[in-house]
Amino acid sequence: MAGASSRTLLEKSPHRLLARAVAEAARSLGAEIDPREVEYVVSESPDPRLGDYGVPLARFARRHRLDPGELAERVRELLQEEPLVAEVVEARGYLNIRLSAAEAARLLAEALRREGEALGLVKTEEPMRLVVEHTSANPVHPLHIGHARNASLGDTLARLLRARGHWVETRFYINDMGRQVAVMVYGFRLAGISSVPEGVKPDHYIGLVYAITHTLADIEQLKRRLEELKKQGRGDSEEYRETLRRLDSLVADAARLRERDPELFDRIAEAIKGRDPDRDISEIMRAYEQRSDEQLVKLFRSLVEQCLCGFRETLERMNIRHDKWDWESDLAWTSMVGRVLEEARRSPYYTIHRGAEALNLQPLLEDPVIRKALGVPEGYEVPPLILRRSDGTTLYATRDIAYTLKKFREANADKVYNVVAAEQRLEQLQVRLALIALGYRREGLNTVHYAYEMVNLPGQKMSGRRGRYITLDQLLDQAVAIARREVEKRSPSLPEEEKQRIAEAVGTAAVRYALVSVSAPKPMTFDINKALDFEQSSAPYILYTHARAANILAKAKQRGIEIDWDNMDHGAAEENPLRRRLAIQLLQYPYIFTKAADEQRPELLVAYLNRLADTFNKWYASGDSAVNEPDPAKRSLKLALVAATKHILANTLRILGIEPIERM
């Protein structure tokens, strides 16, 4: 069927229209302007009297030494040929356009008729094979709010890229070879147990064992240091006093941990007395990496798998699942890590740094292509990457080089995204440079560190080593409890089972929505009350808006009213300011969706949904009824606006990992 599609809406978006017109006008005057550069600065007009969207045209005229008046006139001529542009207005260095809501409504209705529920999801013309690795939490304690941001961003990124038409595989990297896991296994050995007791969520129990063991091991180490200082006659030194202060703090942590399980605590405390935990843990790490003790290997694998069962249960509540789970130890036990070390030794960048094998990566940054591709500022110094410790054990980064190659090869990937905290920026850069140094230039340049900043809870200071954290399970339970109170208040007559189902859906959605609402590179503070605000800018608010649109369409269906596509008054979109605003906002969705996917910025979708829901709810509250509209042609237009809103809300919620619900 002929007619407009979502791709048409994308090309007719104000950003694209203005960008094309400015670039074409400049070209006719002998200047070259990148349309993407113009598109980036197109914005909504702060004053509706001056138009709907505008571009700072004077800026481009100055930069390219063009006559501002002549450039403006050429742009105006081009824009006036567009049926969507009703008026062109110059104001204070800006060229603004006022859109035709009737034309916007016509284009939107044609796309809606043609595509239905798929409205707005423009597929890329250059699909790629992509890997998104995310969450990858150390399996030593339950997931907390920091992991929740990683998981929410990673899963949303994967869904967004899939919606754009890419092939996407998600992976979880099981870090089972680091010191933290060795500490946890050491604790189970000291306690004389090999599994989590029945009836306890495994990751919670493992987190307690880990915190107790880490704290008691640190206490033993500090006690040994105090003894050494005494023997050296430094019992009155500042180091002695500082060590004593740290010991007092750890003893307080230990007392708090003992309250949670006195029997477990006492068993570990008794077993660790007089031992050298640092030496014991290092031996456990070495034996596991070298696979010299099969009983130890079985214990490691069993405990880590039990913790992962707890992770999966929590992630399932947030509608998050991984395609592949990759064990770090599998890399070490196969030839992959050994091959990386061999290739490193043959590399011209190989060196010995402080007695350890390493790669000197600094010379690579003399290549401007590499520096630009990896986003490294000029003059930045990259320290050598240590590949293997003096005791023969490899470092995390060495295994990460092998893992990156595994991801590219097994998925035949064009690009790999690593959703990893911003604090690991240096290590991620070293891994990418190391790949280039070893001859894997394509992989190094196409590995993306999708960095995110930390998320905090008001008044909470977290530490996994000390067992100080609010688990993600606790946070979700709290969110569901708040949502349940709202459901009770708003729909008291619903069956109990339905109330709980809605509360679970709304509570978990609220957490996910809030965690992707802030741009990944920005730190955020999670406020559970804002996340569950039913009145504005939250998942409950968007879900409520979707349910409202669904209810309107259901009422129309009950009365036998259908959208008459051939008898629709598109011009009626101009009659009401809220109708007009809604039509123009809906027209913008394909552009917002495409930009969010291509720039990997899901927060753009959240901001758009908040604005769309505000406009739709104001229109609904104004009494401009769709179902009760007496004029059939106007009624069809209004119902088309409702249907478009519902589909866009539903599509975007699903991209954000939230299942839309028909009733709140």
Sorting pLDDT into bands at 50, 70 and 90, what band is 474? very high
- The pLDDT assigned to 135 comes to 97
Predicted TM-score of the model (pTM): 0.94
pLDDT of residue 292 exceeding 80, the answer is yes
- What is the CATH architecture of 129-133+153-175+325-450? 3-Layer(aba) Sandwich (3.40)
pLDDT band at 464 (very low <50, low <70, confident <90, very high): low
What pLDDT, on a 0 to 100 scale, did the predictor assign at position 460? 60
CATH 3.40.50.620 domain position(s) in the chain: 129-133+153-175+325-450
What pLDDT, on the 0 to 100 scale, is given for residue 1? 40
Q: What is the pLDDT of residues 401-411, one digit of tens each?
A: 999 999 999 99
Residues of the chain with CATH 1.10.730.10: 472-655
pLDDT level of residue 461 (50, 70, 90 thresholds): low
What CATH code would you report for 472-655? 1.10.730.10
pLDDT for residue 390: 75
Split at pLDDT 50, 70, 90, the class of 392 is: confident
Token output for 535: 């009145």
Q: Between the ranges 160-174, 218-232, 333-347, 444-458, where is the mean pLDDT highest?
A: 160-174
pLDDT score for 605? 98
Helices H, strands E: what count in the chain? 26, 14
Contacts of 586 (CB under 8 A, 6+ apart): 104, 108, 612, 641, 644, 645, 648
Segment 81-91 mean pLDDT: 93
Q: Which fold, 6-99?
A: Gyrase A; domain 2 (3.30.1360)
For residues 235 and 271, the model is more confident at 271
Burial of 43 (0-12, 13-18, 19+ CB in 10 A): middle
pLDDT at 3: 74
Q: Which long-range contacts (CB under 8 A, 24 or more apart) does 457-464 make?
A: 457/145, 457/525, 457/526, 458/525, 458/527, 462/144, 462/145, 462/146, 464/138, 464/140, 464/141, 464/144, 464/180, 464/207, 464/210, 464/211
Rounded to the nearest 10 degrees, what angle do helices 603-621 and 539-558 cross at?
Answer: 50
Which of 128, 137, 124 has its CA nearest to residue 416? 128
- pLDDT tens by residue, 579-610: 999 999 999 999 999 999 999 999 999 999 99
Question: DSSP code of 389?
Answer: -
Every domain range in the chain assigned CATH 3.30.1360.70: 6-99
What pLDDT does residue 573 have?
A: 97
Confidence of residue 321 (pLDDT cuts 50, 70, 90): very high
Looking up tokens 């399996």 gives 139
- In whole numbers, what is the pLDDT of the chain averaged over residues? 94
The answer to whether the CB of 631 falls within 8 A of the CB of 100 is: no
State the residue for tokens 């003096």: 390
CA-wise closest residue to 356 among 335, 385, 331, 336: 385
Long-range contacts of 231-239 (CB under 8 A, 24+ apart): none
Q: Which residues, at least 6 apart from 133, have a Cβ–Cβ distance to it below 8 Å?
A: 154, 170, 171, 172, 173, 407, 416, 417, 418, 419
Specify the length of the chain in residues: 664
Give 463's pLDDT tier (boundaries 50, 70, 90).
low
* Residue range 250-271, pLDDT digits in tens: 999 999 999 999 999 999 999 9
How does DSSP classify residue 364? Answer: G
Structure tokens at 651: 């599509």
